[in-house]
């Protein structure tokens, strides 16, 4: 009888342990969010579609939420574990006492082309003309304000800023002249070009550091589900390698999510991603420092904090030290 009870109890403990500590072969559930139909978000698509989440033992639901600000609220509510939220959102939430942190960065510069109507000859020509952004507080808004300020224009006072919606809505507003310029990513930048718009400026060459697309989570997730957080970063590394080495398959994934069929648009989108996406997703301190300097214009609290409070490169650095990225690329990327 004692032996029977002993083994019965052991079986229950074993079952409970299996629930608490999934075996390597059992995929662990995680919800991952992305926020714009842009080639810059394509690493997230590839992680899912090329099977890298599964390869890293993760059962990932990939969901679309239209803006970083909305995404942040979903993360704080525990509905999304990892997302593409940018540095302005992370800093804004952090200054309010929120728990967001960038554990990696997909893009460390403002990676938009500012598309404009052909009659706009320079950034300074935008004075008195409305420009568009997706949402106030989004990376389009940040980049546009930084560009205007660089050329001596006061956002809102000198150049009205309109909140339009997504990239397709920005392209439509440009073609109707409801606005005269807007920060755009590919593929929609290509659509605007085909409608007669031109590239007025490339924000990547305007020396505007910014964590444009993050690998953002909460400190709670990094602390309590560290293995999963690190698995997401490995999946990211594999996805970027795939983007560079499996170009045709990458185009198919890009087409599936962006609904692009035009070969020129696809090719341009792939090159756009290759130009901007980080192979080793270390967050650059300057990307957050510039963000805080911009926020400080309206929120004095931003002057009292350090950039390092809003990101944690610890897990990416572990992967670097373990030789993960070097083994993946066959050399130091």
What mean pLDDT is predicted for residues 245-266?
93
How does the average pLDDT of the chain come out, rounded? Answer: 89
Residue 275 is predicted with a pLDDT of: 84
Contact assessment for residue 115 and residue 181, using Cβ atoms and an 8 Å cutoff: yes
Distance CA 261, CA 290 (A): 37
Residue 138 is predicted with a pLDDT of: 82
Distance CA 202, CA 247 (A): 24
Q: Characterize the bridge pairing of strands 131-133 and 209-218.
A: unpaired
Residues 11-67 pLDDT 10s: 433 333 333 334 444 577 999 999 888 899 999 999 999 999 999 999 999 999 987
Distance CA 93, CA 106 (A): 20
Centre a 10 Å sphere on the Cβ of residue 70 and count the other Cβ atoms it contains.
Answer: 16
Contact assessment for residue 145 and residue 155, using Cβ atoms and an 8 Å cutoff: yes
Contact assessment for residue 231 and residue 57, using Cβ atoms and an 8 Å cutoff: yes
Residues 233-246 pLDDT 10s: 999 999 999 999 99
Question: Residue 160 contacts by C-beta under 8 Å, 6 or more apart in sequence?
Answer: 129, 130, 131
Going along the chain from its start, the domains and CATH numbers come out as: 27-108+210-270+278-329 (3.40.190.10), 113-207 (3.40.190.10)
Residues 171-191 pLDDT 10s: 999 999 999 999 998 778 888
Tokens representing residue 200 in the block: 């007025």
Sheet order of strands, 198-202 included: 181-184, 113-116, 198-202
- Res. 317: pLDDT tops 50: yes
Residue 93 is predicted with a pLDDT of: 94
What residue spans of the chain are helical by DSSP H?
A: 2-20, 42-49, 52-55, 68-76, 87-95, 139-150, 167-176, 188-194, 219-224, 226-245, 247-258, 263-276, 285-295, 314-321, 324-329
Q: How far is CA 331 from CA 231, 239, 306, in A?
A: 21, 17, 34
- Res. 210: pLDDT tops 70: yes
DSSP 8-state code for residue 51: T
Residues 125-176 pLDDT 10s: 999 999 999 988 788 898 899 899 999 999 999 999 999 998 889 999 999 9
What mean pLDDT is predicted for residues 248-266?
92
Distance CA 321, CA 33 (A): 28
pTM over 0.85: no
What mean pLDDT is predicted for residues 207-229?
93
Distance CA 165, CA 115 (A): 16
List the single range of 12-16, 208-212, 311-315 with lowest mean pLDDT: 12-16
Contact assessment for residue 210 and residue 109, using Cβ atoms and an 8 Å cutoff: yes
Q: Bridge partners of 31?
A: 61
Q: Which of 155, 49, 154, 35 is nearest to 83 (CA)?
A: 35
């Amino acid at each position: 009888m004692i032996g029977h009870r002993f083994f019965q109890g052991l079986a229950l403990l074993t079952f409970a342990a299996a629930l608490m500590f999934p075996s390597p072969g059992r995929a662990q559930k995680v919800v991952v969010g992305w926020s714009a139909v842009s080639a810059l978000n394509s690493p997230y698509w590839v992680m899912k579609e090329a099977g890298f989440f599964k390869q890293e033992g993760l059962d990932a639901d990939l969901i679309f939420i239209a803006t970083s600000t909305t995404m942040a609220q979903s993360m704080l509510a525990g509905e999304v574990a990892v997302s593409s939220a940018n540095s302005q959102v992370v800093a804004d939430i952090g200054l309010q006492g929120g728990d967001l942190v960038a554990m990696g960065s997909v893009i460390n510069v403002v990676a938009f082309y500012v598309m404009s109507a052909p009659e706009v000859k320079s950034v300074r020509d935008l004075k008195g003309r409305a420009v568009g952004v997706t949402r106030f507080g989004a990376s389009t808004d940040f980049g546009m304000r930084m560009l205007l300020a660089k050329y001596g224009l006061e956002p809102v006072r000198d150049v009205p800023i309109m909140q339009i919606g997504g990239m397709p809505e920005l392209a439509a507003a440009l073609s109707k002249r409801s606005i005269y310029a807007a920060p755009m990513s590919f593929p929609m930048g290509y659509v605007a070009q085909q409608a007669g718009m031109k590239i007025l400026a490339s924000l990547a060459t305007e020396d505007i550091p910014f964590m444009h697309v993050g690998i953002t989570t909460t400190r709670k997730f990094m602390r309590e589900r560290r293995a999963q957080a690190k698995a997401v970063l490995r999946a990211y590394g594999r996805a970027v390698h795939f983007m560079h080495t499996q170009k045709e398959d990458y185009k198919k994934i890009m087409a599936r999510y962006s609904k692009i069929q035009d070969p020129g648009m696809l090719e341009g989108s792939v090159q756009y991603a290759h130009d901007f996406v980080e192979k080793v997703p270390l967050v650059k301190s300057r990307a957050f420092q510039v963000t805080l300097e911009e926020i400080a214009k309206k929120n004095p609290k931003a002057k009292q904090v350090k950039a390092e409070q809003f990101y944690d490169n610890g897990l990416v650095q572990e992967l670097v030290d373990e030789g993960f990225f070097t083994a993946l690329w066959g050399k130091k990327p």
